[in-house]
Structure 1
């Protein structure tokens, strides 16, 4: 790093074509969607080639943007001397002194924006806001979407709505890309809602099945409940930040950078920030499936497996996490995270980790196990964000995308080639490792990554969250994170054993069932309420005796168009390994599940693991985490809407130390008092120093979870230990606990029988009565009164007065005419006599007047 000598130096930072035109990353798939809809059915590959080409083009541009962003950051770190290319147009950055006397660069994002529409002088822009966070997510979404589309070529071949599937899948990715690159909240809402619409279409892809349409509606309405919070929170932010944005940044209250600066400026009231952050986090709860609005996520498994994979890895459910990470200063100040407050985000994240992990234990559907796993891992991300661990949370978004996408695609491979399109682990799987070795290997690698085993990806990201939670003073939540890690190892061991070990069962053994499309049965079960226990825990493999068990053991809905909808059956010859189009994406993702954690291996940067490679190995910390340095408010200029500022450099005062030994940061920039004439776009977060003891503790907890789960699986499923088999019949506590989990904490019953019932029955009836008797009564009363008033006016005013006056004047005129009629005789002598008579009268009048 360079020491600061000239405190008024400025630095030219390079951008480049890819950064300036990053908006193409989202536009190309949107155009691809339109082309698939218009021309897809006439294309040789029914439109799938357009989807693949559009996502490949987006990935190329996203990769170029990522490379240029790293060059941009490096040029700032080296004083601009190593800016590659040299001819890039640029923006102005700044080097600011840190407490240690070194300098840290503030990296200006590349903003390209056009006026979308105007209203009363307020401009709404549409374009791209490119910084480290958006570059990371843009590349991740484009990469995962491309692999999922390649997987889908074989997986949904012959589907009844093949073209529409690729169209919706492409638009789904475009919506996420639009949201990620948003420079203002209006564009963010646009991308947010595009994803909501596409998820509705894709989850209900086979809408003929009642369960599928029910699940799509459930997802749509549940997420819409949270979306109310997004609209309310955005409105609060606009009215709170608009004056500050107009006065200081020549912007408006919808601009994300203005919102970030306003939140950290001290200009907003605490209540405004609390209300805005609470409303916005409710939106994140709905979108990211956090407790208690997580119930839609497992039902979203009704959609095709590629949809489940994309939705649960890098789109849709990550949107809520991204929202919190993008406008993090609002939550930092609103929930008092800076001073160690127990934030709403951390509480919900901690609850979600445990609640979802426990539900995964009682699932027989392999995709639902992974769905609850996703909910739990999203809880880790929220836990990190809620406790100041911004970078570890974003890091976990990155690694989680690879191993969770791999797990879902592996589940699809199993269904496609090993279990005759069934996802039921107990009924139609077992012993598949011998038939599907590549799928089994990829599943194991991703499982190890998910559970946080070193050196797999999840170890570096999830353990970093747990470590930072503990280091920031949240001791209880630290143990919650460790407990969640043990639970993850246990339910994934159960899923792995049921799928790949033991003896083949059902379809895996070559026995095909005359299925009733299991999810439809489960849908009927939900309607009539489950009232019987799953006898599988009682009889250890006997046929289910209850409606609940029958539903759980039926086949999937011919997943992804198989069987009766025209798809060729690829597994008529028994379980076997899938084809290359399915395996290639799985193998690539498994490789990344093993290696992606090394982009930010914090323990290797210090002495925790004895490597001491230095901070240079922490690539995400260098290229993705925003700088917290204050930036001088200046005039903006640039090209193509790019934001350019001339920024001055002044050393920051040293942080004060509180009585508890922690740094006292009253504001997000690490200053006790805001520095006049400057703004901050990101708070000063802390990074935990890894300790070998905590690393060993985490690995030990995971190892204990594996050991306990392996012992249970062998005792229960293989040896049928009599102390475990039938436990739920012998023990009322065990039975009650199992039913409590099997019925998903009765939240669906609560929502259906209380909220939905209340809305559809009593509230609807009360509203109808109010409408008929109050609103319509008032309207009808006004109408009746108006009619009576009109009749009275007509009868009395119009008929008697107005018409009377008119008629009377007519009568007078008529009678006067009749009286003068004799004068008009036509006789000249009479006219002459009248004329001379009148002249005589006039003369007499004149004489009288003159005499007087």
Structure 2
């Protein structure tokens, strides 16, 4: 090992101003929030200029930090030769692919200040900049910037316009704080800022009881998961703190220390398992995974820009980011390295299917997209749960563009095509003729979502599915493919109802009164069989008759959220001009996102790197892999214990990367992998003494043409089936399909099961909430009245009796009695001596003479004796 230590020296890597000051990315929007609240209403644009300028500044800094991170990576890969600019970063990746296989670990750039301390335990706040944080910082800033531009026109005239931009800006700041966190305390801070802002934004139009109910539902559901975050953080702290102090000179809240401890082999497997379970419960709540997914569709009560930002790159992605950030904990806790069926993979697989099925029975276009988000988050969790870290993070990246585009397109449709309605059956149809740009962007993003080559979703989602199968999870592989087919089918249905067929309701110029009947309809928790029969029979009738039948049951009329017309500002209302294309402030963000929905997949086109498509461009085209995925390399403790900016490449245990340089296998230390084992290294074997690992050695599937064709074939089948059904059911009104639930009890039962969302809301409301609000509340009240209050009253009564006893017996009889007795004795003694005090001098002299005589006699007697 001496030769290795001499040859592999630490590399002095440049950091750059942008990376060192990346904390400004989150601070600037936070300051803007204060300015909007304080001065927003006095500004020309009512505070929107503060929000837009702050997010724009954050985007500039995030972009600069990203370029510098690429330069830092290239510098490490090429022995300190720093590449210049974005183009050179790509060239550096190409050169790295052509050169040596060994690549050094790249230290993050950490800027941190002591926030507060207690009993010697310091809590820092600042920025932790590495590939993952750079990707998310830029993504959040970019999406937030486009959403704020969209909002300038979309919420114009809203009565709480200023407060909307304030909450939206702070919401983005909270996500940025969490992404750059270097410790779990700061991560929790950003996590909770988002939770608070989501409550304000979902309930932005709180006058409608449905909106306020949805905000409370989201807040309390996520809070349940947050308990897991606090418990998991506590477990990690007490489990890793001593190790972190002894080895890295930090504490158990430090994220890097947690990563290194999890992979060190010193952590208890039981501790890691319990921490993993608790933390993943938090991720389930935040990212809307089964069974905590019920709040996410109801969050559509907020304005569409909120829905777009929340579902694309901020709050719901936070749970995925949490798992990705401290991935070594889950890697070891759920034994992912050895192919264990992890809790993450199980929940992800379930969520993919159950959310996709629910999207089929939604009439609200935003709810279709909401369930689509839940399903896509399931793909991300499935990837993380099976070791496909890179594809999962890559899907976060691509999903942000096409899902944000879809939501903004839905907002454009509501704003300019359906008179603020989101009901596809009641107020849409035939809109492609009136809104060609929105229609084109919607189609591009739909193709990206469904995974059609060459759109973005094909490169990321298919990579997840491919890696799941390559890791040996055959059943989950088919679950992923089945979910892809379902995605194509429900998006075809939504596209047909919105853009094809005959215009209906508002799309046909018929405006409905916005009665906002959610307070009444929301009480109707379950959809009845009679309602289903009436709806499906009416679907086959004339298109204009759909309006009365579509508003039913749990959809609450589907006019909520942005359908506020004159009640909450006209949002640039087009009046009675009929459907038309939206304005530039709405269309520009949509078009930009549509372009990225087409092209962003080329940031990591794995099939192009190999021979699957016959191009063989090399690994250099996989930019996300090169610059985002952490290197699974052991790092010297001397470097890890506080020398930020230095990086070292050590021997991977048991391998000989370059014998000419003097490297030898470290057999003496016992790190010799089994014959044929290609997966030795960090996270698969204990790190060598004196070194630590920060990321496990994950595997990467090699795409094959057969798997690509299989995936595309499944999606094509889904499209064909859905298109055929839409034409037969909605256009031709085939008699065998129309009214099917009236004739078939099985079809009716299945539809009811989906329409009532698997009865989970009923379960939560009628069991858990009922138990809390009724029996548990009554039991708590009885305990309070009969135990706590009785105990307090008993103590009070006992105190009163004790006081009375002390007063009567101690104070009055003993204390006052003794005082009075001493006074009486003194008085009586005085009275007894009173005769002696006669005032006669001769009498006094006689007494003195007598006393002297008696004294003399006593002295004589004593002396004689």
TM-score, scaled relative to structure 1: 0.94
Structure 1 residues 737 and 160, CA gap change in structure 2 (3 angstroms):
same
Q: Which deviates more, 785-794 or 128-137?
A: 785-794
Partner of 2:753: 740
The structure-2 alpha-carbon separation of the partners of 1:345 and 1:531, relative to structure 1 and needing over 3 Å to count, comes to farther
In structure 2, the residue matched to 1:679 is 692
Question: Hey, what does 1:49 align to over in structure 2?
Answer: 49
Q: Indicate which of 562, 572, 576 corresponds to 2:576.
A: 572
- Aligned position for 2:658: none
Q: Matched residues in 1 for 2:790 and 2:27: separation?
A: 52
Match in the other structure for 1:828: 841
What corresponds to 2:731 in structure 1?
Answer: 718
The answer (yes or no) to whether the contact 1:69–1:131 under 8 Å persists in 2 is yes
Match of 1:611, SS?
A: coil
Aligned to 2:664: none
CA 32–845 in structure 1, closer or farther in 2 if over 3 Å, else same: same
Q: Which moved more, 1:348-357 or 1:679-688?
A: 679-688
Residue matched to 1:93: none
Rounded Cα–Cα distance in structure 1 between residues aligned with 2:433 and 2:527: 40
Tell me the equivalent position of 2:831.
Answer: 818
CA contact (8 A) 2:107 2:647 kept: no
TM-superposed CA distance for 1:121, in Å, is 1.4
- Offset at 1:777? 1.6
Deviation at residue 798 of structure 1 after TM alignment: 3.0
Q: CA separation in 2, counterparts of 1:620 and 1:762?
A: 53
- The aligned residue for residue 38 of structure 2 is 38
Matched residue SS, 1:104: coil
Q: Report whether the alignment pairs 1:837 with 2:850.
A: yes
Q: Distance in 2 between matches of 1:379 and 1:30?
A: 31
What residue is the counterpart of 1:602 in the other structure?
Answer: 606
3-state SS, counterpart of residue 115 of structure 1? strand
Equivalent pair of 2:51/2:148 in contact (CA under 8 Å): yes
What is the CA distance between 1:787 and its match in structure 2?
2.4
Cα distance in 2 for partners of 1:839, 1:372 equals 119
Distance 1:467 1:636, change over 3 A: closer
Identify if the C-alpha distance between structure 1 residues 437 and 475 changes in structure 2 by more than 3 Å, giving closer, same or farther. Answer: same
**1:14 matched to which residue of 2?**
14
The equivalences for 1:322-333 within 5 A come to 322-333=321-332
Whether 1:630 aligns to 2:666 is no
Counterpart mapping for 1:548-627 below 5 A: 549=552, 552=555, 554=557, 556-557=559-560, 559=562, 561-567=564-570, 568-627=572-631
Aligned: 1:416 with 2:415: yes
Secondary structure at 1:559 match in 2: coil
Mapped partners of 1:530, 1:53: distance in 2: 52
**Pair 546,788 (structure 1): closer, same or farther in 2 beyond 3 Å:** farther
Q: Which residue of 2 aligns with 1:505?
A: 504
Q: Take 1:627 and 1:528, find their aligned partners in 2: how far apart are those partners?
A: 52
**In structure 2, what is the Cα distance between the partners aligned to 1:38 and 1:179?**
25
CA RMSD of aligned residues (A): 2.3
In the other structure, the counterpart of 1:122 is 121
Go from structure 1 to structure 2 and tell me whether the alpha carbon gap of 1:776 and 1:553 turns closer, same or farther (over 3 Å shift). Answer: closer
Supply the distance in 1 between the matched residues of 2:590 and 2:322 (Cα, whole angstroms): 29
- SS where residue 117 of structure 1 aligns? strand
1:191-340 pair list within 5 angstroms = 191-340=190-339
Quickly say closer, same or farther: Cα 1:547–1:687, change in 2 above 3 A.
closer
Deviation, 1:850, is 2.2
Point out where structure 1 has 5 or more consecutive residues left out of the alignment. 86-96
Please state how far the C-alpha of 1:658 moved relative to its aligned partner.
6.4
1:532 touches 1:548 (CA, 8 Å); kept in 2? no
- Asked if 1:402 is matched to 2:401, the reply is yes
For 2:500 and 2:647, locate their aligned partners in 1 and report how far apart those are by CA, in whole Å.
Answer: 64
Is the Cα–Cα contact under 8 Å of residues 517 and 558 in structure 1 kept in the other structure? no
- Counterparts of 2:556 and 2:697, CA distance in 1: 52
State how far apart, in whole Å, the 1-side matches of 2:154 and 2:339 are. Answer: 48
Match in the other structure for 2:78: 78
Structure 2 CA distance for aligned equivalents of residues 101 and 814 of structure 1 = 113
Shifted more, 708-717 versus 543-552: the winner is 543-552
Cα separation, partners in 2 of 1:527 and 1:352, compared to 1, 3 Å: closer
* Cα 1:636/1:103, change in 2 over 3 Å: closer
Query: Does the 8 Å contact 1:406/1:586 carry over to 2?
Result: yes
Give the Cα–Cα distance (whole angstroms) in 1 for the partners of residues 5 and 648 of structure 2. 16
Question: What's the counterpart of residue 649 of structure 1?
Answer: 650
- Could you give the per-residue CA deviations for residues 160-191 of structure 1, whole angstroms, max 9, x where no partner exists? 11000000000000000000001111111111
- Is 2:797 the partner of 1:784? yes
Q: Secondary structure at the match of 1:114?
A: strand
Name the CA shift for 1:649/1:764 in 2 (closer, same or farther; >3 Å). same
Structure 1 segment 420-439 matched on structure 2, within 5 A: 420-439=419-438
Point out the more displaced range, 800-809 or 514-523.
514-523
Q: SS of the counterpart of 1:6?
A: helix
Secondary structure in 2 aligned to 1:125? strand
Question: Cα offset for 1:780?
Answer: 1.8
Deviations 1:598-656 (A, max 9, x none): 01001101101111111111111111001111111127787xxx845675734532486
- Among 806, 812, 816, which residue is 2:819 paired with? 806
- Which residue is 2:771 aligned to? 758
Deviations 1:538-580 (A, max 9, x none): 2324446779637748462371653333324225211111000
In 1, distance between residues paired with 2:167 and 2:535? Answer: 39
Aligned to 2:513: 514
Q: 1:516 to 1:550 in 2, by over 3 A?
A: farther
**Relative to structure 1, is the Cα distance of residues 412 and 571 closer, same or farther in structure 2, using a 3 angstrom cutoff?**
farther
Q: Do the aligned residues in 2 keep the contact of 1:563 with 1:569 (CA within 8 Å)?
A: no
* Structure 2 CA distance for aligned equivalents of residues 109 and 530 of structure 1: 58
CA positional deviation for 1:61: 0.4
SS at match of 1:291: coil
Q: Which residue of 1 aligns with 2:89?
A: none
- Matched residue of 2:345: which SS? helix
Q: Distance in 2 between matches of 1:634 and 1:331?
A: 26
What secondary structure is seen at the aligned counterpart in 1 of 2:266?
coil
Paired with 2:494 and 2:549, the residues of 1 have a C-alpha distance of 22
What is the deviation of 1:775? Answer: 1.6
Describe the SS at the equivalent of 1:524.
coil
Q: Residues 747 and 48 of structure 1: is their aligned pair in 2 closer, same or farther, counting only changes over 3 Å?
A: same
Q: Deviations over 1:124-164 (max 9, x none)?
A: 11111111000000000000000000000111100011000
SS of the residue corresponding to residue 106 of structure 1 reads coil
Q: C-alpha displacement at 1:684, in angstroms?
A: 1.0
Question: What CA distance in whole angstroms lies between the structure 2 residues aligned with 1:219 and 1:527?
Answer: 20
User: Which secondary structure does the structure 1 equivalent of 2:586 belong to?
Assistant: helix
CA distance, structure 1, for counterparts of residue 520 and residue 146 of structure 2: 32
Instruction: Give the corresponding residue for 1:88.
Output: none
Structure 1 contact 518–552 (Cα < 8 Å) conserved:
no
Separation in structure 1 between the aligned mates of residue 845 and residue 182 of structure 2, nearest angstrom = 99
Structure 1 residue 530: Cα displacement: 8.2
Q: Measure how far apart 1:76 and its partner are.
A: 0.2
Partner SS, residue 163 of structure 2: helix
Q: Secondary structure at the match of 1:420?
A: coil
- Which residue is 1:92 aligned to? none
Would the aligned equivalents of 1:156 and 1:560 in 2 still touch at CA under 8 Å? Answer: no
Is the Cα contact below 8 Å between 1:329 and 1:668 reproduced in 2?
no
1:90 is aligned to: none
Q: CA deviation at 1:268?
A: 1.4
Aligned residues between the structures: 832
SS at the partner of 2:638? Answer: coil
Q: Secondary structure at the match of 1:118?
A: strand
- Residue 140 and residue 560 in structure 1: after superposition, are their counterparts in 2 closer, same or farther (change >3 A)? farther
Counterparts of 1:432 and 1:394 in 2: how far apart (Å)?
Answer: 35
Partner Cα separation in structure 2 for residue 267 and residue 553 of structure 1: 54
* Shift, 1:803, TM fit: 2.7
Query: Secondary structure of 2:124's match?
Result: strand
1:325-354 alpha-carbon deviations (Å, 9 max, x no partner): 011111111111111000000000000000
